[in-house]
Chains A and B, each alone.
Chain A
Amino acid sequence: MINQIFFFYFSAVIVAMSVMAITRRQVLHGVLYMLLMFFHIAGLYLFLNAEFISAVQIIVYAGAIMVLFLFVIMLLNLREDIRKKQFIAVWPMGLLVSSGILMVVLMSMLTVRTGTKGVWGIAQIERVTETVAVGTVLYMQYLFPFEVASLVLLVAIIGAIVLAKRKVK
């Protein structure tokens, strides 16, 4: 019962924050709502026994990505843009399409059948602790994608620097 109450609290806040984030005229406000939403998602992850990802969510998403957004917003002088209308003229069309997809997704949920269970049951994770479990899987099974991910990040760093730096005359 208490689990369900917490789930409803978190999901209600997540949905509400998402809606707020995408409807704000001020970009800065949107980003702040996003921050709130990320904290609640991290909380939800804790319910799902994903402490490590929960921490990553807060550190990387809330701590790094959103801060990056804030920096960019502060670097840009957005006075003109925020005075314009937030939505395009045909926004009901977008609503229609999004809700259509939502309907399809929700309907498909009804027929989801889960596959066979893996080896990382709660007992097993508790025995070795969560971080060790994720680390084992990450560095044993997914070493190569992990290296690729590091390469993607390296490219992103270089790309961002190259794109954003001013031309030196």
Chain B
Amino acid sequence: MIPLNWYMWLSGVVFCIGMFGFVTRRNIIIMLLSIEIMFNGVNISLIALSHYLEDLAGQVLVFFIIAVAAAEAAIGLALVMLLFRNKETITVDDLNELKG
């Protein structure tokens, strides 16, 4: 039997890898991918807890997260399209019109 903590650690590691990618990558599509990784990190922990606590609420929550992730990806990618159409770039460093 695998201890719950193993899953939790895995979840934490995956989440932090996603966060590292989100914080450091310059490519906006990779940033969106990183967000997906972070979602998955959380999902792992939820599924694991659902299993160990014998409660299906965790699975339902993951289901919702996937739905929201889909919505987020759709909107995010639409924004990326729009951005590329207007700026010819998806590198976030180059988007500094909000500089104070």
Contact = CB atoms under 8 A, between A and B. Distances in A.
Interface of A: 3-4, 7, 11, 14-15, 18-19, 21-24, 27, 30-31, 34, 37-38, 41, 44-45, 47-50, 52-53, 56-57, 60-61, 64-65, 68-69, 72-73, 75-76, 78, 80-82, 84-88, 91, 94-95, 97-99, 101-102, 105-106, 109-110, 112, 114-122, 124, 133-134, 137-138, 141-142, 145-146, 149-150, 152-153, 155-157, 159-161, 163-164, 166
Interface of B: 1-2, 4-10, 12-21, 23-27, 29-30, 32-34, 36-37, 40, 43-44, 47-57, 59-60, 62-64, 66-75, 77-82, 84-85, 88-91, 93
A57 B84 CA distance: 29
Nearest to A25: B27
A35 to B, nearest CB: 11
Nearest to B13: A15
9 contacts: A18-B14, A34-B36, A61-B36, A85-B26, A87-B25, A94-B20, A114-B52, A161-B78, A164-B77
A134 B49 CA distance: 15
A81 B88 CA distance: 9
Contacts of A52: 59
Given A3-B1, A163-B79, A118 B55 contact: yes
Given A3-B2, A76-B90, A134-B59, A97 B74 contact: no
B66 A61 contact: yes
A53 B62 contact: yes
A99 B16 contact: yes
Given A45-B47, A149-B64, A14 B10 contact: yes
Contact of B16 (A24, A105, A156): A105
A105 B54 contact: no
Given A149-B68, A163-B79, A41 B36 contact: no
B89 A81 contact: yes
A156 B75 contact: yes
Nearest to B68: A152
Given A22-B21, A27-B30, A48-B50, A37 B40 contact: yes
